[in-house]
Amino acid sequence: MAAEGEGNYYGKHGEPRKFDPKFRGPIYNRHCTDVLCCIIFIVVILGYIALGIVAWVHGDPRKVAYPTDSYGKFCGQMGTPNENKTILFYFNILKCASPIVLINLQCPTTQLCVAKCPDRFATYIDMQASYRYNSSYWEYYRQFCRPGFNNPKKSIAEVLRDEDCPSVIIPSRPFIKRCFPDFTTKNGVLTVANKTTFKDGRGVIRNVTDLREAANGINSVLDARSIGMKIFEDYASSWYWILIALFIAMILSLLFLVLLRFTAGFLFWIFIASVLGIIGYGIFHCYWEYDSLRGMPGSDLTIYDIGFQTDFRVYLQLRQTWLAFMIILCIVELIIILMLIFLRNRIAIAITLLQEGSRAIGYIMSTLFYPIVTFILITICISYWAVTAVFLATSGEPVYKVMANQTLCKYANLTCSPTTFNTTNVTKVCPGAQCTFAFYGGESLYHRYIFVFQICNAFVFLWLVNFAIALGQCTLAGAFASYYWAFRKPADIPVCPVFSSFGRAIRYHTGSLAFGSLILAIVQMIRIILEYLDHRLKASQNSFTRFLLCCLKCCFWCLEKFIKFINRNAYIMIAMYGKNFCTSAKEAFFLLMRNVVRVAVLDKVTDFLLFLGKILVAGGVGVLAFFFFTRRIPVIMEETPALNYYWIPLLTVIIGSYLIAHGFFSVYAMCVDTLFLCFCEDLERNDGSAAKPYFMSASLHRILGKKETNPRKGK
């Protein structure tokens, strides 16, 4: 087992670090790490569950899909007076800023459940005038008045004050169980029922363009609904072929990982040769342009002579410009060649580690399927967050306020209940006072802090997602470390290394993983707040504020990337040595700094090869899907489903293939990173002698130019 004090290469007084000669891989006799953070994490999870329960008790997601009137009753609800009234009607649609707001939130006007939407223009004043001759006008208009109101002779001022009826009704059509104005366009002119103007019932002639914002929103929602139905039809008819394409992507990803074992070096050197060839052609082209401009009028002027020009094509007419380009490309070409010469051994190590990673995955195939566990955990986190957010957002209740005509009424703007308002003393003290709908929300302690709860919901969501990712990284690191530190491969690889590593991570290191995830979640939350502030201040003319926000966003973006890098390597050290997060992060950091050149080379080689693999998998499957869905494969042309938009399943296949490749290659990248840290530790711990033999593979031995004095079988 590892001795106490392992970590830094040098001790407190500069003496070389002493390693445990009995070290043989990941430590199995462990103790719990970062216990305090583990306790806090468990408490937060319990609190998060309690928040979800409270939100579930107070919230009602039906408010998102089903309309409610100003009394908080659902339209069309069985066993209520609204049972046959399934559509919501707004007294004054002009008060609604946008139909999107109507659908998701509420409109600040009286809302009423009706059996059907109005199909004509009418005002309360016109109805009163016509009622004297024909009572049918009132019978039609009263459908859109408050239930129980039956006094058509009541003055318009009193009706509007008491909110008994709308001042005007507009021809509407039901959409998502709401009445929206029936807009049409004729010859580019917006109309409602073939009219461009209407009376608002208050003595003012209004233009239907006052509803233009609502009309634009409704049209876009209608279009989106139509497109959404077609997309659903495409998925329904092509889901089988999409699954086949994704299965092909999985097979190609596995094949690419196998090929990397034999072709990693070939692919890398092909890439390097291509880069050098492209830069060489660039040098030749710059020289050709430089030579062709010889003797051309004005071509011998310098950039300083012509100064700054907005049209950059002017600079391309100067010989000096092409000479500068040629010099820069020559310098880049020379730097790359020198790096290849001086870093050839480290590049060879990186390529061998990539091949070793393929070999490790071949011995521990179960690691390729662990991303499914991470995917399930993240899906649970996302689902719980979304459900909790919806319940919190729909926790609002209708709030009513006293509206009085008298300015000195002491009850004005106080909360009231419409069911008991007439039995109170308010109407006697303030004649004409009404209990009217004010907004959806609440005045309890819970309702006042809903916004804070939403922030907490988002923060804990980030923490849990990062923890799920950290758990996966630590689990895979433990499995691959057990492969590297197996003295005889594969004979000494433990049974079920993935399951064992997962158990160790959960049992002993939940606190450490939660600690690293917490740090990352805090940084991500700050980035979200900065993005929100930047969005709100976009219209601001304060250049300094925008510059400061831009700098802060850039700094925290870099900080997040750095923390992800440190956390990833800290989890590898935790999987190997079982120490707490801070100690593991410190040891990983200094170990990487002692091998910084190898780290840089390995990262670039790995990033290139894996990026190439993702492009090949997604691009190859995408091209095959394109020819299939566009009926360009004669053999199976009859099997191609009829589609509204062939690009819908095509994009699904491409994006899904890329995500599948990313899932497989993320395991591969974690394998290479783990093997690299183990390799660096192996070099510092051992010298290849019989007493301290290397655990690295024979191929790495050969690259280092070291002979193995204690050869092993099974390598």
For range 181-196, the mean pLDDT:
71
How many angstroms separate the CA atoms of 342 and 346, rounded? 9
For residue 597, what is the enclosing H or E element? Answer: helix 596-629
How many angstroms separate the CA atoms of 467 and 40, rounded? 14
Which of the 8 DSSP states describes residue 464? H
Residues making up the chain, counted from first to last: 715
For range 100-127, the mean pLDDT:
72
Which of the 8 DSSP states describes residue 103? H
pLDDT in tens, 380-411: 999 999 889 888 877 767 777 777 655 577 77
Confidence of residue 639 (pLDDT cuts 50, 70, 90): confident
How many angstroms separate the CA atoms of 627 and 633, rounded? 6
Helix pair 581-593, 596-629: axis angle to 10 deg: 100
User: Among positive and negative, which fits the CA dihedral 698, 700, 703, 709?
Assistant: negative
Choose between 712 and 469: higher pLDDT: 469
Give the start-to-end residue ranges of the domains of the chain: 87-210, 397-441
b/e per residue 8-41 (b: at least 16 CB within 10 A): eeeeeeeeeeebeeebebbbeebeebbeebbeeb
Confidence of residue 43 (pLDDT cuts 50, 70, 90): very high
Question: Tokens 């008045």 identify what position?
Answer: 145
Tell me: pLDDT of 590 over 80.
yes
Confidence of residue 11 (pLDDT cuts 50, 70, 90): very low
Q: What does pLDDT average to over the chain?
A: 79
For residue 561, what is the enclosing H or E element? Answer: helix 543-577
How many angstroms separate the CA atoms of 77 and 352, rounded? 68
How many angstroms separate the CA atoms of 159 and 432, rounded? 11
- pLDDT the model gives residue 6: 35
For range 363-369, the mean pLDDT:
86
Which of the 8 DSSP states describes residue 28? S
Of 448, 388, 483, 480, residue with least CA distance to 55: 388
Residue 350 CB contacts under 8 Å (≥ 6 apart), including other chains: 598, 601, 602, 605, 606
Helix pair 596-629, 344-363: axis angle to 10 deg: 60
- pLDDT the model gives residue 26: 57
How many angstroms separate the CA atoms of 501 and 489, rounded? 18
Of the chain, the end-to-end C-alpha distance in Å amounts to 23
Tell me: pLDDT of 254 over 90.
no
Q: 3-class SS at 158? A: helix
- pLDDT the model gives residue 573: 92
How many angstroms separate the CA atoms of 670 and 399, rounded? 54
Instruction: State the DSSP string of 215-253.
Output: HHHHHHHHHHHHHHHHHHHHHHHHHHHHHHHHHHHHHHH
Residue 189 carries which side chain, given as an amino acid letter?
Answer: V
For range 614-625, the mean pLDDT:
87
Pairing state between β 189-192 and 168-169: unpaired
Choose between 642 and 14: higher pLDDT: 642
